[in-house]
Amino acid sequence: MERTGKIVFYEDRNFLGRYYECNTDCPELNTHFRRCNSVRVESGAWVLYERPNYLGYQYVLTRGDYPDYQRWMGYNDSIRSCRMIGNLSGVFRVRVYERPEFSGQMLESSEDVGNLPDCWSLREVHSAQVHDGAWVFFELPNFRGRQYLLEKGEFRRFTEWGAMNPNVGSIRRVYNL
């Protein structure tokens, strides 16, 4: 199945100013615009990165309008690379573990979890296995704070999904609407 998607980046808030339309992964957006203050996702699911080459803060966006960077929980107006999220089958299953290397207590979910500490006595997640779908791990409950995209695979330590600490407050499935 071929991935298709379209995202439009705008330099100014409320979809104004210079814009750039994108329908493929792009490791360097700096040549197309200086800053990004609004985004329109016309199709597909995307992960935006604060720095070139898919580095820095991550922001996962699905179909919809984002009139200013606070709407995608952005820390600033810097978006320097993006890529489409693939293989969104509609089937979701993730396991999170208390310790590295898939050890200690384990919680399995196929649904969004808005407050991980409410259903699991631990706030820290040191490893994870994504069996199906794509997931966003949020540093804080209620889908707030830093975001980390985890696609199908094994993550033996939290650093493998780009986190600097093991705090996970909530998790959400990524849909391709």
Share of the chain above pLDDT 90, in %: 86
Stretch among 25-29, 58-62, 83-87, 113-117 having the lowest mean pLDDT: 83-87
**Do the Cβ atoms of 108 and 151 come closer than 8 Å?**
no
Q: Would you say residue 176 has pLDDT above 80?
A: no
What pLDDT was estimated at residue 1?
Answer: 43
The answer to whether residue 93 scores a pLDDT higher than 50 is yes
Q: How confident is the model at residue 123 (pLDDT cuts 50, 70, 90)?
A: confident
Written as one string, the DSSP assignment of 99-139 is EGGGEEEEEEESS-BS-HHHHSS-SB--EEEEEES-EEEEE
Q: In order of start, what are the domains of the chain with their CATH numbers?
A: 6-84 (2.60.20.10), 93-173 (2.60.20.10)
Q: Is the pLDDT of residue 150 over 90?
A: yes
Residue keyed to tokens 């935006």: 48
pLDDT at 86: 79
